[in-house]
A = this chain, B = another copy of it.
Amino acid sequence: MPRYTKKDFPTHNIRRFLEPGPIVLVSSAHKDQVNIMTMGWHMMMEFSPALIACLISSGNHSFDLIRNSRQCVINIPTVDIAETVVKIGNTSGREIDKFFAFGLTPKPGTHVRAPLIDECYANFECTLADAGWAKEYNVFVFEVVKAHVATSPKLPKTIHYRGDGEFMISGSETKKWRRLFRPGML
């Protein structure tokens, strides 16, 4: 299991980790219940406040925990724990305690009661900003109120889902085209 040292990260810059499209783990807590779900359908909506749209199917145990607590943590796992990520997506919090079952460490956040997953590369503490599309589309808009990101490595090897049990692992190749950008577009 990876153990990361993390530091505070500016919330207006979390697109760095979310926009490339990784699978994330969403942790939540309500009353005496805690859960984790695997999520692939999310997008950035705004830099500041840092808004993220997420699709959380109403069939998930996490749906009610998040809707009722109006909080969650979005955690970014890396390929080291990819099998665990898949298992989390194929079990239900109604039946098992996923932190215990998968040997993950819940860590207290500073702004929300939902636990951070210590073994993930980054943890974004979120509060619910807009549930206007929750009923019709299962879409929640969260505001990231606090971000914790590992100090090393600089770029995480993230997991990207193609469906049908198949995953792309983020490439180590990075291209920089700053020179092609207009001022203000970076």
Contacts and interface: CB of A to CB of B under 8 A. Distances in A.
A141 B31 CA distance: 35
A4 B9 CA distance: 42
Contacts of A53: 43, 53, 139
Interface in A132-172: 132-133, 137, 139, 141, 155, 159-172
Given A55-B43, A169-B171, A186-B164, A83 B20 contact: no
A173 interface: yes
Interface in A89-139: 89-90, 132-133, 137, 139
A82 B160 contact: no
Interface footprint category on A: 35 or more
Most buried by B among A43, A44, A165, A178: A43
A175 B169 CA distance: 8
Contact of A86 (B42, B160, B173, B181): B181
Nearest to A90: B182
A176 interface: yes
Interface of A: 13, 15-17, 19-22, 40-46, 51, 53, 55, 79, 82-83, 86-87, 89-90, 132-133, 137, 139, 141, 155, 159-182, 185-186
